[in-house]
Chains A and B, each alone.
Chain A
Amino acid sequence: AQSVTQLDSQVPVFEEAPVELRCNYSSSVSVYLFWYVQYPNQGLQLLLKYLSGSTLVKGINGFEAEFNKSQTSFHLRKPSVHISDTAEYFCAVSGGNTPLVFGKGTRLSVIA
């Protein structure tokens, strides 16, 4: 079975400050890891994904994440956030062409 833990339910951060949203996973099979963003009253948009290869993955909107197999983590980072980054962020894991298992989400609030 797979599971995802997002350690922070809410993260407030000032505009232009760096941010890290934490994600830990557990899985007994090969993992594919994803971060999705959900803006208010909208659907889910893929930010980035790790399938294989380089453990540092770059995504859209200046976000990046690092896959750490020994720590079973896939933390999301951005060096300088904007007001427009205010949203809910979901980490998810999959074993392949299988359903995604989502974490509970982290609400990022960027303060001007």
Chain B
Amino acid sequence: EPEVTQTPSHQVTQMGQEVILRCVPISNHLYFYWYRQILGQKVEFLVSFYNNEISEKSEIFDDQFSVERPDGSNFTLKIRSTKLEDSAMYFCASNNRESLEQYFGPGTRLTVT
């Protein structure tokens, strides 16, 4: 069964450093999303991406964040200058037009020290 993959599974970085979280969505999916989950809290939407551009973003997704689909398979989330409060689990998800079910990757745990 096809699945969404994410790398790395765990990233530790120092405050102020840039990080790139990588995702490979399911190959025939067209809609891509990033969510985050701060420890013990609910899953929050960050950004959605369709047709090579951002289709929607939340207020969390400020100028420190950016997304890119550099080739036909990868979907990346970049945080330019990490803050302590960026520590969270980051989930990538994708879906196709017909099935509204979003498939989630296993997540990347980001720890900012």
Residues of A near any B CB (own CB < 8 A): 32, 34, 36, 42-46, 49, 51, 90, 92, 94, 96-105
Contact = CB atoms under 8 A, between A and B. Distances in A.
Contact of A102 (B31, B42, B58, B105): B42
Interface string B78-113: 000000000000010101010011111111000000
Interface in B33-59: 33, 35, 41-45, 48, 50, 56, 58
A90 to B, nearest CB: 6
A100 B45 contact: yes
B107 A102 contact: no
Contacts of A36: 104
A49 B103 CA distance: 12
Given A42-B106, A43-B107, A102-B42, A97 B95 contact: yes
Name, among A34, A96, A99, the residue most crowded by chain B CB atoms within 10 Å (CB to CB): A99
Given A43-B106, A49-B101, A97-B97, A102 B44 contact: yes
Name, among A43, A46, A105, the residue most crowded by chain B CB atoms within 10 Å (CB to CB): A43
A94 B100 contact: yes
Contacts of B35: 99-100
Top-4 shortest CB links A-B? A99-B45, A43-B106, A44-B104, A102-B43
Given A42-B106, A90-B43, A99 B101 contact: no
A34 B97 CA distance: 17
Given A43-B91, A46-B101, 17 more contacts: A34-B101, A42-B106, A43-B104, A44-B43, A51-B100, A94-B102, A97-B50, A97-B97, A97-B100, A98-B48, A99-B48, A100-B33, A100-B102, A101-B45, A102-B42, A104-B41, A105-B42
